[in-house]
Amino acid sequence: MKITTTSLPEVLIIEPKVFGDARGFFTESWNEASFNKAVGSEVRFVQDNHSRSARGVLRGLHFQLPPHTQGKLVRVVSGAVFDVAVDIRRSSPNFGRWEGVELSAENQRQLWVPPGFAHGFLVLSETADFLYKTTDYYAPQCEGAVRWDDPAIGIEWPDTGVPALLADKDARAALLAEARLFD
């Protein structure tokens, strides 16, 4: 398993070892002991999610507030996305800063998005199957969102060749300056 740090020290790129042979490949997509060693804490996942989206779909930027904060270990098993984490902890020296990584079925990269970060992605391929583990259950009463195109964050989303397609709630999400965030 290869771990790469990013400009946001808590956000990690994880590349599990892939064993290819004449049949195809095998990979341990998650191994609790190796993962916990990489992040340096005992992380307990309680939910696995799967979404499918078409090119240009943008989901985000989402998070859950206490008492149901979520860390997310995200990956793509078909297609490709541009995946983004934003530090939304007001007390953080990196508050409002973002990191973006291409995740695809081909590169088999995963991103660890810890609690305290907003998360979103834009689909670059015809369709993308997006899988992720979360450290707390879905809690709609704790859901929060910030706007994908907030100039105060300034995410450089790649051009997919089609207009971005968002859920209404995401298109109407609060700007960072107005949103309820982490202390």
Ligand X SMILES: Cc1cn([C@H]2C[C@H](O)[C@@H](COP(=O)(O)OP(=O)(O)O[C@H]3O[C@@H](C)C(=O)[C@@H](O)[C@H]3O)O2)c(=O)[nH]c1=O
Which residues are near ligand X by CB under 6 A? 49, 51, 59-60, 62, 72, 119-121, 138, 167
Closer to ligand X by Cβ: residue 25 or 136:
136
CA distances, 16 to each of 23, 68, 109, 164, 181 (Å): 19, 28, 8, 31, 32
Q: How far is the CB of 55 from ligand X (least distance, A)?
A: 16
Closer to ligand X by Cβ: residue 28 or 66:
66
Q: How far is the CB of 140 from ligand X (least distance, A)?
A: 7
Using a 10 angstrom Cβ sphere, with 0-12 exposed, 13-18 middle and 19 or more buried, the burial of residue 115 is buried
Q: How far is the CB of 139 from ligand X (least distance, A)?
A: 9
Q: Closest Cα to residue 135, out of 76, 70, 51? A: 70
Closer to ligand X by Cβ: residue 35 or 173:
173
Q: From CA 87, how far away is CA 10, in angstroms rounded?
A: 9
Q: Point out the residues that are catalytic.
A: 62, 132
